[in-house]
C-alpha cells in the first residue's frame, strides 16, 4: 500500500521507518525543502541519530504526495494539525484512512486532534497511541500501542499495516479516552519532571502519577471515554513511560523548571516542541467546559502561564481538603 507520513520529526520518522520495513510504499513529508534534502543526503534523521533510513523510504516536501495514498499518517506538532489537514482537502480520496499520532488538544476550540482532522477532511480517522518513545521504536525495541476508532474495520487495517514482531498493536473502540490520555499524560509528565528538578523522590512521583491518572480518567469519562481505557496502554502505560524517561521532552522541560529555570528558557533549552506546555492551557479550558475538577492540571497551568512558584503549588496540592480515594477514582 502507498502510505504518506506527514511530519518528519522523531515520531513521524520512526513510524515511516516501521511501515517501510513492513513492506509498504512509504513517503515521508517534511514542511521544508531543506529538511527533505537533509534526510535524502544523510539517510539519517537528526532526531534519531544512529538509525539509518533505508533507500526504499522516500522523502518530499510536496503535500501532493498524499494523492493515491491508502493511508496518511498525521504526525505534525499539535498546533499544525488543522492547517495541515486543511491542505489535504481535494488531495486525498474519501476512503483514505487518516491516522492521528499527534498528541494534544486544539487551542480555542478545545477539540481533540482527531476531531479537528474530521472537521477538515471527510475520511475515517484512527488514533494511534501508547507508550512508544520514537527513539526506542527506531531502534527496534519491543513496543505496544493502541489503534482506536469507532470504525473497527479502519482500526483493524491500521493494526495490520503497523504490527510486526517488535511493534504490537491492539484495537480499541474508544477514540476519546485514548486521545485524552495522549494529551493529558504530557501535562503530568511535565509535572513529574518538576518533582525531579525539585529533588523530590519516588513517593512524590508515585503520588503525582496516580492522582494525575485519576484526573485524566475523570475528564475522559465526562467526555464519553471508557474508564477501562485509562487502565491500559494508552492510559497508565503511556503515562508511566512519559513520566519516567529522559526520552520525554515534557519531563526534561519540567526538570529544568523544577530547578528554577524560567519557563521560556526551559522550553528553549529542550530545543523541540514540548506538547505538555500547550496541553496544560488547553486541558484547563476543556476541564472548565466539561465541569471537571483537575487540580494537578490547574497547578501546571499556574506554573507555566502565571509564573507561580513550583514549591508553593506543591504545598497547595498537599494541603487540599480531605478526600476519599474511592470517591475520586475512576479506575
Catalytic residue positions, numbered: 185
CA 194 to CA 190: how far, in whole Å? 6
The set of cell numbers assigned to 52 is 539509518
Q: CA torsion 13→5→63→38, rounded to 10°?
A: 10
Cα distances (Å, whole numbers) of residue 61 to 32, 86, 177, 290: 6, 16, 33, 39
Cα of first residue to Cα of last residue in the chain, in angstroms, is: 39
CA 67 to CA 96: how far, in whole Å? 10
Cα distances (Å, whole numbers) of residue 294 to 95, 233, 283: 38, 22, 9
Residue the block writes with cell 533549552: 269
Cα distances (Å, whole numbers) of residue 6 to 13, 101, 102, 285: 9, 10, 11, 28
DSSP notation for 244-309: H-TT-HHHHHHHHHHTT--HHHHHHHH-S--HHHHHHHHHHHHHHHHT---HHHHHHHHHHHH---
Identify the bridge partners of residue 171 per DSSP, sorted by sequence position: 147
Cα Rg of the chain, angstroms: 19
The set of cell numbers assigned to 70 is 491508502
The number of residues in the chain equals 331
CA 307 to CA 260: how far, in whole Å? 11
Q: How many helices and strands, by DSSP H and E, does the chain display?
A: 15, 8
For residues 195 and 212, is the Cβ–Cβ distance under 8 A?
no
CA 235 to CA 140: how far, in whole Å? 22
Amino acid at each position: 500500500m502507498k502510505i504518506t507520513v506527514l511530519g518528519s520529526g522523531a515520531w513521524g520518522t520512526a513510524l515511516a521507518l516501521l511501515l517501510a520495513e513492513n513492506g509498504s510504499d512509504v513517503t515521508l513529508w517534511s514542511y521544508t525543502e531543506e529538511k527533505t534534502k537533509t534526510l535524502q543526503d544523510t539517510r539519517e534523521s537528526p532526531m534519531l541519530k544512529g538509525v539509518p533510513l533505508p533507500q526504499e523510504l522516500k522523502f518530499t516536501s510536496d503535500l501532493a504526495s498524499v494523492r493515491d495514498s491508502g493511508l496518511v499518517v498525521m504526525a505534525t506538532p499539535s498546533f499544525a494539525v488543522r492547517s495541515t489537514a486543511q491542505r489535504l482537502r481535494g488531495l486525498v480520496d474519501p476512503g483514505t484512512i487518516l491516522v492521528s499520532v499527534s498528541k494534544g488538544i486544539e487551542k480555542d476550540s478545545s477539540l481533540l486532534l482527531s476531531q479537528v482532522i474530521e472537521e477538515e477532511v471527510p475520511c475515517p480517522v484512527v488514533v494511534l497511541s501508547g507508550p512508544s518513545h520514537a527513539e526506542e521504536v527506531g531502534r527496534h525495541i519491543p513496543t505496544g500501542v493502541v489503534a482506536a476508532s469507532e470504525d473497527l474495520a479502519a482500526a483493524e487495517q491500521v493494526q495490520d499495516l503497523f504490527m510486526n514482531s517488535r511493534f504490537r498493536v491492539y484495537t480499541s473502540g474508544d477514540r476519546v479516552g485514548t486521545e485524552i490520555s495522549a494529551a493529558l499524560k504530557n501535562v503530568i509528565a511535565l509535572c513529574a519532571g518538576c518533582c525531579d528538578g525539585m529533588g523530590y523522590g519516588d513517593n512524590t512521583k508515585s503520588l503525582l502519577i496516580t492522582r494525575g491518572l485519576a484526573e485524566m480518567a475523570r475528564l475522559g469519562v465526562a467526555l464519553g471515554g471508557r474508564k477501562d481505557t485509562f487502565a491500559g496502554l494508552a492510559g497508565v502505560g503511556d503515562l508511566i513511560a512519559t513520566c519516567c524517561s529522559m526520552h520525554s521532552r515534557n519531563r526534561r522541560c519540567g526538570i529544568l523548571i523544577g530547578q528554577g529555570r524560567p519557563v521560556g528558557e526551559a522550553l528553549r533549552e529542550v530545543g523541540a516542541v514540548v506538547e505538555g506546555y500547550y496541553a496544560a492551557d488547553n486541558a484547563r479550558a476543556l476541564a472548565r467546559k466539561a465541569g471537571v475538577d483537575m487540580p494537578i492540571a490547574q497547578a501546571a497551568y499556574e506554573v507555566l502561564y502565571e509564573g507561580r512558584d513550583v514549591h508553593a503549588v506543591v504545598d497547595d496540592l498537599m494541603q487540599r481538603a480531605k478526600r476519599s480515594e474511592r470517591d475520586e477514582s475512576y479506575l
